[in-house]
Amino acid sequence: MAQIIAGDKFSIKEFPFEDEVHDLADFIVAHPEILGAEVTILARELQVPTAAGQKRIDFLAFDTENNQIDIVELKKAFADEKVLLQTLRYSNWIRNNPDTVRYHVKKEGVNINPEEIDTDSIKVIIVAPKISRTLAELCQYITAFDFEFIELQRFKDANDKVYAITDRLEVETIQPTPPTWQDTYDLSWYKQHAVRDQQISDLENAISALTGICDENAWDLRARYVKWSVRFQTTGGRNAFLIHVRKTQSHHLSFCLGEDFDLSKFPIPEKLKKSFHHKKGSRWWKTDLAVDELKSMVPLMEISYQNVMK
């Protein structure tokens, strides 16, 4: 990633993006972590038909942490309210054409069963050097989709070294009311959607055990059911650990331990250490869910909880 400026050691000047299609998009491809550590770019300049004619989505991406489809809209200068209608058209098309997402997930080799993708969960990510606060405030009333706003500025010093600064624009959010057509996710929903009885039993026992552990340790976490995961979240919606629900195989359990966590030095059984998988640059560490081993993982849960409470 391009470096963040600290102090005034070098004389730097603004190095604006020339256009969205090439300069800004190329910069995002070179530094995908701008979108998030768990976000994988699936397609670039994806052509979609809309009521306004043939348009293109700058990036179609997928967030493996939240099992969420991401639509990325780039602006080289100022992103104003005009962006809203444009991105809503894209989001609506993607929601009505879920096989497009499944195709690209499979094509890019993303580690998720395409049939377990929550096609109702879509987030629009707007990236621009400056974003209208009015746009951000309007978007909070669009309850069908999530929105994220990333202000990205680029600079260059006298030695042609490039720097970038990112800032996520925050606005006061409202609690959305689920639309009447949206499913309510719970154990019954999983059973109705081909999750085997043994997996249902394992999931129920795991949720009960994890809830008990949270209560015993006075962690302010609550279980939230979504389409194919159960997330133990803070009041603000940050995930400390989560269960990835699977239909026929062992569920997965992920912990927010941080990208630099050194599991080898942690005092848990070697068998558990060997069961973990970690993608470089990711905050998340994944293992197969085993209810009888959850007590041994409490120290990992503690670290995950502290990480999201910082």
The CATH number of 12-168 is which of 3.30.1490.190, 3.40.1350.10, 3.40.640.10, 2.40.40.20? 3.40.1350.10
Q: Rounded to 10 degrees, what is the CA torsion of 39, 254, 2, 77?
A: 40
CATH 3.40.1350.10 placement within the chain: 12-168
**pLDDT computed for residue 172 by the predictor:** 60
**pLDDT computed for residue 215 by the predictor:** 96
With 0-12 / 13-18 / 19 or more C-beta atoms within 10 angstroms meaning exposed / middle / buried, residue 284 is buried
The answer to whether 310 touches 265, Cβ cutoff 8 Å, is: no
- φ, ψ of residue 88 in degrees (nearest 5): -65, -35
Residue 176 CB partners (closer than 8 Å, separation 6+): 143
The answer to whether 239 touches 233, Cβ cutoff 8 Å, is: yes
The answer to whether 13 touches 176, Cβ cutoff 8 Å, is: no
**pLDDT computed for residue 200 by the predictor:** 96
Class of domain 187-309: alpha beta
Residue type, 25: A
Question: What does pTM read for this prediction?
Answer: 0.64
Ramachandran sector of residue 281 (left: φ over 0; alpha: ψ -120 to 50; beta: rest): left
CATH 3.90.1150 placement within the chain: 187-309
Q: How far apart are alpha carbons 304 and 232 in whole angstroms?
A: 11
Strands 130-131, 78-79: parallel, antiparallel or unpaired by DSSP? Answer: parallel
Q: How far apart are alpha carbons 221 and 1 in whole angstroms?
A: 32
The answer to whether 72 touches 44, Cβ cutoff 8 Å, is: no
Q: How far apart are alpha carbons 107 and 43 in whole angstroms?
A: 10
The answer to whether 16 touches 156, Cβ cutoff 8 Å, is: no
Q: How far apart are alpha carbons 33 and 1 in whole angstroms?
A: 7
Q: CA 79: distance to chain centroid? A: 22
If DSSP states are collapsed to H, E and C, what string results for the chain?
A: CCECCCCCCCCEEECCCCCHHHHHHHHHHHCHHHCCCCEEEEEEEEEEEECCEEEEEEEEEEECCCCEEEEEEECCCEECCHHHHHHHHHHHHHHHCHHHHHHHHHHHCCCCCHHHCCCCCEEEEEEECEECHHHHHHHCCCCCCEEEEEEEEEEEECCCCEEEEEEECCCCCCCCCCCCCCCCCCHHHHHHCCCCHHHHHHHHHHHHHHHHHHHHCCCCCEEEECCCEEEEECCCCCEEEEEECCCCCCCEEEEECCCCCCHHHCCCCHHHHHHCEECCCCCEEEEECCHHHCHHHHHHHHHHHHHHHC
∠ Cα 206 293 200 (to 5°): 25
* Residue-level pLDDT, tens digit, the chain, 310 residues: 444 444 454 578 999 999 998 999 999 999 998 998 789 999 999 999 877 788 999 999 998 877 789 999 999 999 999 999 999 999 999 999 999 999 999 999 887 777 778 788 899 999 999 999 999 989 888 878 889 999 999 999 888 899 999 998 876 655 555 544 455 789 999 999 889 999 999 999 999 999 999 999 999 999 999 878 899 998 877 889 999 999 998 999 999 998 889 998 887 888 888 999 887 777 889 999 999 999 999 999 999 999 988 7
Q: How far apart are alpha carbons 156 and 11 in whole angstroms?
A: 9
Q: Measured in Å, how far apart are the chain's first and last C-alpha atoms?
A: 23
